[in-house]
């Protein structure tokens, strides 16, 4: 039977590569994006390689848009085997400077829309008695650091959601897989927003962190590696709860395991901004 995959945020980066990788593995893949003006590149590759891939519109922040996309897929294919919750963005700023509205907007896309997608797709997977939900978290879902505070909080929330879901959906044959990439070379950092409120209090640490992260981004892992890990996880008979992608992420998580909290904070300050 033809398996069906749904990926959010397929216009670039990890979502783009994952959509192509799933289609290359034979999944009929719905590569979804909020702005169909960005569909040309992925469509061209799919046509050239004769891949089972279709682009449809899906803005994860918009309930009607999610509803329509899922309805279209069920009308056309009657099933969803894999859901990759990938769409997301980030914002620079400290907890004091990111307004409540900015925090809410960050959580709307990075957290609530993942809940929205799962609430629409889990009933379908439960009826099938099978399915995989892949949530793209981040190393920032395991390790806090300054000046991306709303983003980090949203990814920590994804970790809690995913861990709980594993217990809730596991008995229905649905696997929930958390993907934790380190710094990946995509449009992510160029697309990052900045908190509207800026002040001198946090100027120094903000500059240090942004330049540290941007330097790491230059040497970031290619998004194809994230796609490969997702494919590998889906091929496991029993996927693990978590997959880490990138040497940087593996190194930070290993250090976190080996050190006390205070030792780790001191280590991270040095790594991030040489303090």
Ligand X SMILES: NC(=O)c1ccc[n+]([C@@H]2O[C@H](COP(=O)([O-])OP(=O)(O)OC[C@H]3O[C@@H](n4cnc5c(N)ncnc54)[C@H](OP(=O)(O)O)[C@@H]3O)[C@@H](O)[C@H]2O)c1
Catalytic residues: 151
The burial of 98, by beta-carbon neighbours within 10 Å (0-12 exposed, 13-18 middle, 19 or more buried), is given as: buried
Q: Residue for token digits 């945020």?
A: 9
By CB under 6 A, tell whether 191 contacts ligand X: yes
Backbone dihedral region for residue 243 (phi beyond 0: left; psi -120 to 50: alpha; all else: beta)? beta
By CB under 6 A, tell whether 88 contacts ligand X: yes
Tokens in use for 108? 């709307």
Asked whether the CA dihedral 158, 161, 167, 169 is positive or negative, the reply is: negative
In the range 122-181, which residues lie near ligand X by CB under 6 A? Answer: 136, 138, 181
Pairing state of beta strands 4-7 and 174-181?
A: unpaired
Interacting residue with ligand X among 89, 107, 172, 264 (CB under 6 A): 89
Interacting residue with ligand X among 3, 11, 93, 120 (CB under 6 A): 11
Interacting residue with ligand X among 24, 38, 79, 224 (CB under 6 A): 38
By CB under 6 A, tell whether 187 contacts ligand X: yes
Enclosing H/E stretch for 55: strand 53-57
Q: Name 183's Cβ contacts closer than 8 Å, sequence gap at least 6.
A: 139, 213, 216, 217, 219, 220, 221, 246, 248, 249
Per-residue contact track with ligand X, 210 to 229, x per CB under 6 A? ----------x--x------
Interacting residue with ligand X among 28, 54, 81, 86 (CB under 6 A): 86
Given the complex with ligand X, which of 107 and 172 has the nearer CB atom? Answer: 107
By CB under 6 A, tell whether 78 contacts ligand X: no
Interacting residue with ligand X among 19, 29, 109, 233 (CB under 6 A): 109
Return residues touching ligand X (CB under 6 A): 8-9, 11-15, 33-35, 38, 59-61, 86-89, 109, 136, 138, 181, 183-184, 186-188, 191, 220, 223
């Amino acid at each position: 039977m033809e398996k069906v995959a749904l990926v959010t945020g397929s216009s670039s980066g990890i979502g783009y590569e994952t959509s192509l990788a799933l289609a290359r593995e034979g999944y009929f893949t719905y590569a979804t994006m909020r702005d169909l003006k960005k569909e040309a590149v992925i469509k061209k590759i799919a046509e050239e390689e004769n891949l089972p891939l279709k682009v449809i519109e899906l803005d994860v922040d918009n309930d009607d848009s999610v509803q329509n996309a899922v309805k279209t897929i069920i009308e056309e294919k009657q099933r969803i085997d894999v859901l990759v919750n990938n769409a997301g963005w980030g914002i620079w700023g400290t907890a004091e400077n990111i307004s409540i509205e900015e925090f809410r907007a960050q959580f709307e896309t990075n957290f609530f829309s993942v809940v929205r997608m799962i609430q629409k797709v889990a009933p379908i997977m439960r009826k099938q008695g099978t399915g995989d939900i892949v949530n793209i978290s981040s190393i920032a879902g395991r390790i806090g650091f300054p000046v991306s505070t709303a983003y980090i909080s949203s990814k920590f929330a994804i970790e809690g959601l995913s861990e709980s879901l594993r217990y809730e959906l596991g008995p229905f044959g649905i696997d929930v897989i958390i993907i934790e990439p380190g710094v990946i070379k995509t449009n992510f950092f160029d697309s990052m927003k900045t908190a509207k409120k800026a002040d001198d209090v946090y100027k120094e640490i903000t500059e240090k962190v942004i330049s540290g992260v941007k330097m790491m981004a230059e040497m970031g892992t290619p998004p194809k590696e994230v796609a490969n890990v997702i494919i590998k996880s889906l091929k496991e008979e029993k996927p693990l709860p978590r997959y880490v992608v990138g040497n940087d992420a593996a190194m930070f998580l290993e250090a976190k395991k080996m050190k006390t909290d205070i030792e780790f904070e001191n280590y991270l300050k040095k790594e991030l901004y040489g303090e």
